[in-house]
A and B are shown apart, each in its own frame.
Chain A
């Protein structure tokens, strides 16, 4: 036998090649990241490594899979979480304001067979879901006033969108895990400019009010200080108003005439108190 084979190396080669091909056609490695639909003569037969939420990694049947060579064919379908990116959508709120919204959805193929039958490939599922995501988003957000559009998470809008999209996704055998808004911007041009203008005027108002309140506070502080000083003076000087009058007059003279800045001429009458002794000559 071996001799025959050795003598006919081409035949040997062919046989070996055929064996090898059979082997590779009957044994497939199923990686963790993919699930496979086994198609026997064009008819889906079973599913390899199907996603099961309850199973940990390594427990869903990845590994070696045996197939009937040349009868079975495996269609690979992604098992991982995939992403549908929506192109920017303009959403009109109930109060007629516009917002440009950019959203994405995360999904996972949970029913590879249905997905294979309905869409054939993940890319086509994405293409099918993308416009639906857009319209769901517009519908859901269009029911709300602009102020609510800014935080749709709080109103449960995103959960509604996810549920609606999931209902459609189920038809393709995919589960929508999450829908999130990535960006929500004012459209450029007038809406953006007017928002800027509003911000600017709001700031000007704030600046003015800050300035005014500053000067009000300053005034109050000054007045309080004046009042405090008046109180201090009154408490002290009020003990003897007539002495205060005299005392303060003396201080005033000192300050008025005592300075050396300008020469002062004083013309005194001899009747002056200061000159009393002067004129009376010591007599009383």
Chain B
């Protein structure tokens, strides 16, 4: 780039040598040393042949003179700075040529050798016409104005997020319910040339198609399916349909996957949905309790039945004795822990207090028969 001001300066020099309105200037090839241009009259200058002003009169306005001289000084200085005003001679010229050559080589190298990264493809256009696609590695093309390379990242899987947890994205489901949904679409470029040349706005297109397909997919399922078990199916269907639609656009895009991040009822009705899951819990715990009771009861009944069976087996061998034994053993156990009073007949003072009962037996005296009835019955 640094060569450009030099050329500009040279061009100025070319134009200034004969037509300059400033008259004799230090033109190309005969430039005085810097600072020498201040006193124009004193220098051996070649006056421009067709300058209408000729050599500037020293007696012109001091103002204009000053401005001219300062401008001239600027010119000479800049020429001296870039070394091509002729003062440097052939050495500077060759230096410039070398610089130009180096720049050309650099330009050539930069636009012919292309390094395509492993995740990229290079789409080559020849005067705008698609010519080929470069695979990863080092590739050669014609230099820049002839062939251009556009690198497209094909491996990088891009992500479009649609809907978010922060704000509601409401959609209608097939049963006319409303769902708040957030999902993301992952895609990458399959055919870089199609991706570059076929769609006006690939990213927008993908997003719009995603929205539309998701809406269509949700309108085919019920709310419960969308919230619950139908998610995977919806994701697959959206991915499928998107791919098909984008293929009809010749987009060169591959949909890698659709992920539903969130599918909830809208906030306005969320409480009612929570009540449903609460009632499910309640119903389940009801059932659990009943099952526990059933299990307990089954064990208990089996235990009791088995116990009875065991005893009954023995009882059948000797019914009378067993019955007596059991009766006495039970009575023993029962009566050893209770306060006992034996009454001969109603209204008669008890005569066998086995221990001193602390309670007045008056209340118990009322119905002695009722108390003793059962053992009698059992003793048949």
Q: Chain A interface (Cβ within 8 Å of chain B)?
A: 9-10, 29-33, 57-58, 61-64, 78-83, 104, 106, 146-147, 150-151, 153-154, 177-178, 180-186, 192, 195-196, 199-201, 203-204, 206-208, 210-211, 213-215, 217-222, 224-226, 228-230, 232-233, 235-237, 239-240, 243-244, 246-247, 249-250, 253-254, 257-258, 260, 263-275
Contact residues, B260-279 vs A (CB, 8 A): 265-266, 268-269, 272-273, 275-276, 278-279
The stretch of B62-70, B136-144, B337-345 that contacts the partner chain:
B337-345
B249 (CB) vs chain A CBs: closest residue: A81
What is the interface of chain B mostly: helix, strand, loop, or mixed?
Answer: helix
Using Cβ atoms and an 8 Å threshold, which residues of chain B touch A267? 340-343, 350, 361, 364-365, 368, 371-372
Cα A270 to Cα B216 in complex, Å, equals 94
Interface bits B11-54 vs A (CB < 8 Å: 1, else 0): 00011000100000000000000000000000000000000000
Once the chains bind, are B130 and A58 in contact (CB under 8 Å)?
yes
Determine which of B208, B280, B338 lies in contact with A182 in the assembled complex, contact meaning CB atoms within 8 Å.
Answer: B208
Task: State whether A80 and B378 are in contact (beta carbons under 8 Å apart), knowing that A186-B172, A222-B293 are contacts in the complex.
Answer: no
- Can you report 17 A-B residue pairs in the complex whose CB atoms are below 8 A from each other? A78-B200, A81-B200, A199-B272, A203-B269, A203-B276, A214-B279, A220-B290, A228-B294, A229-B298, A233-B305, A264-B337, A265-B338, A272-B376, A273-B327, A274-B327, A274-B331, A275-B342
Once the chains bind, are A246 and B343 in contact (CB under 8 Å)?
no
Interface bits B310-339 vs A (CB < 8 Å: 1, else 0): 011001100100010011101101110111
Task: State whether A9 and B14 are in contact (beta carbons under 8 Å apart), knowing that A106-B249, A181-B215, A235-B305 are contacts in the complex.
Answer: yes
Besides the contacts A184-B215, A265-B339, what 12 more A-B pairs have beta carbons closer than 8 Å?
A: A57-B198, A81-B205, A178-B245, A183-B211, A199-B178, A232-B305, A253-B331, A260-B337, A266-B371, A267-B342, A267-B364, A273-B376
Once the chains bind, are B378 and A214 in contact (CB under 8 Å)?
no
Once the chains bind, are A62 and B128 in contact (CB under 8 Å)?
yes
Once the chains bind, are A57 and B130 in contact (CB under 8 Å)?
yes
Once the chains bind, are B245 and A180 in contact (CB under 8 Å)?
yes
B145 to chain A, nearest CB (A): 9
How many contacting A-B pairs (Cβ < 8 A)?
309
Once the chains bind, are A186 and B315 in contact (CB under 8 Å)?
no
B204 (CB) vs chain A CBs: closest residue: A83
A259 to chain B, nearest CB (A): 8
Once the chains bind, are A196 and B268 in contact (CB under 8 Å)?
yes
CB of B194 closer than 8 Å to a CB of A:
yes
Cα A151 to Cα B298 in complex, Å, equals 55
Once the chains bind, are A266 and B340 in contact (CB under 8 Å)?
yes
Using Cβ atoms and an 8 Å threshold, which residues of chain B touch A58? 129-131, 193
CB of B94 closer than 8 Å to a CB of A:
no
Most B Cβ at <10 Å: residue of A33, A235, A273: A273
Cα A104 to Cα B200 in complex, Å, equals 14
Once the chains bind, are B330 and A250 in contact (CB under 8 Å)?
yes
Task: State whether A266 and B283 are in contact (beta carbons under 8 Å apart), knowing that A178-B245, A195-B177, A203-B276 are contacts in the complex.
Answer: no
Once the chains bind, are B287 and A217 in contact (CB under 8 Å)?
yes
Once the chains bind, are B339 and A266 in contact (CB under 8 Å)?
yes
CB of B369 closer than 8 Å to a CB of A:
yes
Once the chains bind, are B272 and A204 in contact (CB under 8 Å)?
yes
Determine which of B177, B248, B312, B334 lies in contact with A240 in the assembled complex, contact meaning CB atoms within 8 Å.
Answer: B312
A27 to chain B, nearest CB (A): 9
A213 (CB) vs chain B CBs: closest residue: B283
A240 (CB) vs chain B CBs: closest residue: B312
Once the chains bind, are A62 and B129 in contact (CB under 8 Å)?
yes
Task: State whether A265 and B364 are in contact (beta carbons under 8 Å apart), knowing that A10-B15, A254-B330, A273-B379 are contacts in the complex.
Answer: yes
Cα A196 to Cα B178 in complex, Å, equals 8
B257 to chain A, nearest CB (A): 21
Cα A265 to Cα B365 in complex, Å, equals 10
Instruction: Enumerate the 10 nearest inter-chain pairs by beta-carbon distance, A residue then B residue, closest first.
Output: A214-B283, A225-B294, A63-B129, A273-B379, A236-B305, A229-B301, A218-B290, A203-B272, A58-B130, A207-B279
Cα A217 to Cα B291 in complex, Å, equals 10
Once the chains bind, are B128 and A199 in contact (CB under 8 Å)?
no
Using Cβ atoms and an 8 Å threshold, which residues of chain B touch A64? 127-128
Using Cβ atoms and an 8 Å threshold, which residues of chain A touch B249? 81, 106, 177-178
CB of B96 closer than 8 Å to a CB of A:
no
Determine which of A183, A192, A265 lies in contact with B341 in the assembled complex, contact meaning CB atoms within 8 Å.
Answer: A265
Using Cβ atoms and an 8 Å threshold, which residues of chain A touch B377? 249
Cα A267 to Cα B357 in complex, Å, equals 11
Using Cβ atoms and an 8 Å threshold, which residues of chain B touch A224? 294
Cα A61 to Cα B371 in complex, Å, equals 119
Once the chains bind, are B14 and A80 in contact (CB under 8 Å)?
no
